[in-house]
Amino acid sequence: MAGQAESPRVDALAKACGCERYAVDETPSGCLWAGVRRAGLPHGRIASLDVAPARGLPGVVAVLTRADVPGTNRQGIVHKDQPVLCGQVVRHCGDPVALVVAESREALAAGLAAIQVDLKPLPGVFDPVQALSPDAPLVHSGREGGNLLAHGLMEKGQAGAALAGCDVVVAGRFETPLQDHVFLEPPNGLARLLPSGLLDMIVSTQAPFRDRFEIAQALGLDPLRIRVRAPYLGGGFGGKDGATVQCLLALAALRLPGRWVKMVWSREETFLAGYKRHAAVINLRLGAHADGTLAALDCTMHFDAGPYAHLSGEIMELSLEHAGGPYRIPHTRIEGFCAYTNNPVGGAFRGFGVVQATFAVERAMDLLAKRLGRAVDSLRLQNALRTGEENAVGVPVEPGTDIAACLKAAMAHPFWSQRQAWKQAAPPLTRRGVGLVAVHNAMGYGRGLPDHAAAKLELTRQGTFRLYNSVPDMGQGNAAAFVAMAAKALGQPETAFACVQPDTRVCPPAGSSSASRTTYTFGNALLRACRAMAEKLRTRAALALFCDAPDRLTLVPGGVFDPASGRTVPLALLAGFLLRDDRICIDQFVMPVVADPPDTGHAFKLGFPHRFYSYGACLCGVEVDELTGTVRLAQCLAVVACGRVFSLAGVEQQLQGATAQGAGFTLFEDMAPDQGRIRGADLGAYLIPTALDLPDIACLALPDDEPSGPMGLKGMGEVGIHGPGPAVAQALDDAIGMDVTRLPVAPEAVLSALEDKNA
Q: Where are the beta strands (DSSP E) in 84-211?
A: 89-90, 96-102, 116-121, 148-156, 168-176, 188-193, 199-203
The enclosing H or E element of 64 equals strand 60-64
Q: Which sign does the torsion angle of CA 2, 661, 482, 611 carry?
A: positive
Residue 395: pLDDT over 80? yes
Q: Please give the helix or strand (H or E) that residue 598 lies within, else none.
A: none
Least-confidence region, from 8-12, 247-251, 257-261: 8-12
532 pLDDT higher than 60: yes
> What's the confidence (pLDDT) of residue 138?
98
Give the largest Cα separation in the chain, rounded: 91
Q: Do domains 276-373+388-446+597-758 and 452-590 have the same CATH topology?
A: yes
Give the domain ranges of the chain.
23-122+182-273, 276-373+388-446+597-758, 452-590
- Fold (CATH) for 23-122+182-273: Aldehyde Oxidoreductase; domain 3 (3.90.1170)
Cα-based distances in Å from 165 to 290, 291, 332, 361, 374: 11, 14, 14, 20, 20
First to last CA, the chain: 52
| 363 dihedral zone (left: phi>0; alpha: psi -120 to 50; beta) | alpha
Specify the higher pLDDT residue, 604 or 497. Answer: 497
Q: How far apart are CA 509 and CA 504, in angstroms?
A: 7
pLDDT tens readout for residues 451-490? 999 999 999 999 999 999 999 999 999 999 999 999 999 9
Residue 4 — very low, low, confident or very high, per pLDDT cuts 50/70/90?
A: very low
Q: Exposed, middle or buried by CB within 10 Å (0-12, 13-18, 19+), for 715?
A: buried
**Quick check: 72 and 81 in contact, CB under 8 A?**
no
Amino acid residing at 629: G
The Cα–Cα gap between 550 and 576 comes to 19
DSSP per-residue letters across 512-569: -S-TT-HHHHHHHHHHHHHHHHHHHHHHHHHHHHT-S-GGG-EEETTEEEETTTTEEE
The confidence score (pLDDT) of residue 7 equals 65
**In which band, very low, low, confident or very high, does the pLDDT at 757 lie, cut at 50, 70 and 90?**
confident
Residue-wise pLDDT tens digits, 674-700: 999 999 999 999 999 999 999 999 999
The answer to whether residue 759 scores a pLDDT higher than 80 is: no
Q: Give dist(CA 217, CA 221) in Å, integer.
A: 7
Fill in the amino acid letter for 81.
Answer: D
Q: What is the pLDDT of residues 695-736, one digit of tens each?
A: 999 999 999 999 999 999 999 999 999 999 999 999 999 999
Greater pLDDT, 401 or 330: 330
Which of 64, 115, 72, 143 shows the shortest CA–CA distance to 307? 143
State how far the Cα of 696 lies from the Cα of 733, in Å rounded to an integer. 23
Q: How confident is the model at residue 6 (pLDDT cuts 50, 70, 90)?
A: low
Question: Which of 518, 520, 567, 444 minimizes the C-alpha distance to 713?
Answer: 520
DSSP secondary structure, 246-262, as one string: HHHHHHHHHHSTTS-EE
Average pLDDT, the chain: 96
Amino acid at 457: L
Rounded Cα–Cα distance for residues 114 and 117 (Å): 10
Q: What's the whole-number mean pLDDT along residues 307-317? A: 97
In eight-state DSSP terms, residue 426 is: P
pLDDT value at position 400?
Answer: 84
- How many other CB atoms are found less than 10 A from the CB of residue 584? 18
For 372-397, give the secondary structure using H, E and C.
HCCCHHHHHHHHECECCCECCCCCEC
- Cβ proximity of 547 and 525 under 8 Å: no
| Residues above pLDDT 90, as percent of the chain | 96
**Can you tell me the distance from the alpha carbon of 456 to that of 588, in angstroms, rounded to the nearest whole number?**
9
Domain covering 276-373+388-446+597-758 assigned CATH 2.40.50.140 in the classification: no
Per residue in 79-119, pLDDT (tens digit) is 999 999 999 999 999 999 999 999 999 999 999 999 999 99
* d(C-alpha 258, C-alpha 32), whole Å: 11
Helices (H), 20-154: 52-55, 105-114
Q: What is the mean pLDDT of residues 530-553?
A: 97
Residue type, 640: V
| pLDDT tens column, 143-163 | 999 999 999 999 999 999 999
H-type helices in 399-515, by residue range?
Answer: 403-412, 414-417, 419-424, 478-490
Cα dihedral 195, 212, 72, 252 sign: negative
Q: What is the pLDDT of residue 1?
A: 41
Q: By C-alpha distance, which of 454, 522, 531 is closest to 491?
A: 531
* pLDDT per position as a tens digit, 220-250: 999 999 999 999 999 999 999 999 999 999 9
CATH of 452-590, one of 3.40.50.620, 3.30.365.10, 3.30.460.10, 3.40.630.10: 3.30.365.10
Q: What is the pLDDT of residue 2?
A: 40
Q: What is the DSSP letter of 24?
A: G
Q: Identify the band that residue 171 occupies on the pLDDT scale cut at 50, 70 and 90.
A: very high
Q: Are 352 and 515 in contact (CB under 8 A)?
A: yes
98 neighbors 49 (Cβ within 8 angstroms): yes
| pLDDT band at 9; cut points 50, 70, 90 | confident
Which residue type is seen at 113?
A
Average pLDDT over every residue of 295-313: 98
Give which of 375, 393, 377 is closest to 325, Cα–Cα: 393
Q: Report residue 178: phi and psi, to 5°.
A: -60, 150
User: pLDDT (tens digit, 9 = 90+) per residue, 606-641?
Assistant: 899 999 999 999 999 999 999 999 999 999 999 999
Q: Looking at the predicted structure, is the pLDDT value of residue 656 above 90?
A: yes
Q: Distance between CA atoms of 302 and 315, rounded to whole angstroms?
A: 12
pLDDT at 309 over 60: yes
Q: How far apart (Å, rounded) are the C-alpha atoms in residues 443 and 440?
A: 10
Q: Would you state the pLDDT for residue 3?
A: 42
C-alpha to C-alpha distance for 494 and 6, rounded to whole angstroms: 13
Instruction: Find the helix packing angle between 724-736 and 648-667, rounded to 10°.
Output: 60
